[in-house]
Structure 1
């Protein structure tokens, strides 16, 4: 399937707010959905100044990456904070460090975000003390303090 630049410009962006962070608001154009991708999410996102792209998180099974097209931001990668701008790339392998992206600039931050769409994934939200289990469309959010670890 093919999308021209005009097709992409005409796509309606959907405003999404993260369920754990009311300051994580982005306008999302799902390029992957538009061409029928099922196992790979490809999104053109725009983040307004003063907003995050998502809540600080890490995936246990899905990989994701981000390429900055325009604007300025501040990426948090574990304990490290990095200023990002056009042409910068961030890769988030499985079981990597938690991460987020904040628009600290004066204008919109526009990025291409690509990630796997597995039927099952586990994501940690360390600043919220939460863990999300996704299983074939069912989402279960638990407090990390309530997780019992079993030694085998």
Structure 2
């Protein structure tokens, strides 16, 4: 059936980042709606971001486009250009290969709900984290220090 039952969609709660980088994202909750629909060319996540939590560490992807749409609440988008408040109905896109680290922070007392859309190009993609000692090359290799050593 094409209709997705969100409560049965695959979930990813918390963070897969190594310590101590996992703490700011420990409360995030993602439902992989694209996986539930059997999509293979792009991913769609429903992100519930509790107060004072982050969507991710600030990062950018070498080969994957990303798009976010705020459904409920308010978040702050941080990029190299600074901070921008985003409210319900606001959206932003991040082209693959643009070296501009980005992430969302919920700086409010209310949960924010965000729709995330991204390409699925794990074999050719890497992620850079400009603010911290973290990088992600081939996803099967996992997170590494910027000098290449594994966590």
- Fold match (TM-score > 0.5): yes
Identify the match of residue 132 of structure 1 among 127, 133, 136: 136
Q: Larger % of strand: which?
A: 1
Larger Rg: 1
Q: Contact 2:69–2:115 (CA<8 Å) still a contact in 1?
A: yes
**CA distance in 1 between partners of 2:105 and 2:73 (Å):** 11
Structure 2: gaps of 5 or more residues: none
Classify the secondary structure of the residue corresponding to 2:34.
Answer: helix
Q: CA deviation at 1:140?
A: 5.1
Q: Which runs of at least 4 in structure 1 moved beyond 4 Å after TM superposition?
A: 9-13
**CA distance in 1 between partners of 2:8 and 2:135 (Å):** 36
Q: CA deviation at 1:10?
A: 5.5
Classify the secondary structure of the residue corresponding to 1:131.
Answer: strand
Number of aligned residue pairs: 142
Cα deviations by residue, 1:33-73 (Å, 9 ceiling, x for unpaired): 10111231100010000100101001111111100000111
Cα deviations by residue, 1:15-47 (Å, 9 ceiling, x for unpaired): 131403311131111110101112311000100
Q: Could you say which residue in structure 2 is the equivalent of 1:150?
A: none
Distance verdict in 2 for CA 1:82–1:31, change over 3 Å: same
1:1-152 correspondence runs (5 A): 2-3=2-3, 7-8=5-6, 11=9, 13-19=11-17, 20-25=21-26, 26-96=28-98, 97-118=100-121, 119-134=123-138, 137-139=140-142, 141-143=144-146, 146=147
RMSD: 2.0
| TM-score (ref. length: structure 2) | 0.84
Classify the secondary structure of the residue corresponding to 2:64.
Answer: coil
